[in-house]
Structure 1
């Protein structure tokens, strides 16, 4: 039997996460125990702070991995690769800023679309 947690967020989105899965991996449906939680926060997709933090963390991890690769290239004395990796690392801050701006634009676009849908629902319901 699978154990599932369904979380309802204030932004009206729901997430479903499996806490454990049963051994029945054949694709057949199985019995599930579902725990429903309610959160007064926005979901990870709608929460801009979380989305920005994820992007920043991803770029930080990327930078750390590039530093490790550059150190490995130094140890094997491959100067061409060291120069390439250092060049990528230098451009990383600029790329991070560009990615964060892109995420912000996407968040704003989603907010506008969500407001438009809510306004249409209000108009159709006659409020």
Structure 2
């Protein structure tokens, strides 16, 4: 078959500069995810003293985050596939930010654990979404 010069050829689209923005956002988000998990270890003793918590309570504070993070990754990844990376990554980052801020407003162990659980679930979706976006 002969191509006519006036017909545009259909081929793969050239990559745009948006890919670098996506890479930067995914990298920054991943860095903040790790930073959040790392920095909380410096605040553990202050949290324990302020709320009058035992070491057992503190193990719950740490554990509720990591268990919700671990168990939430598969469902959160499915949600990202179902509703789209852009939407769900935005939702995960917003929820993670809100729950992190709410931790500062906690009044006791129950609210502290609830907000940390929410933070773990939101972060569980953010990291796989960042990887998928790239």
TM-score by length of 1: 0.35
Hey, which of these two has a bigger chunk of helix by percent? Answer: 2
- Greater relative contact order structure (CA < 8 Å, 6+ sep): 2
Higher Rg = 1
**TM-score of the aligned structures, taking structure 2 as reference length:** 0.34
Q: Which has the higher strand share?
A: 1
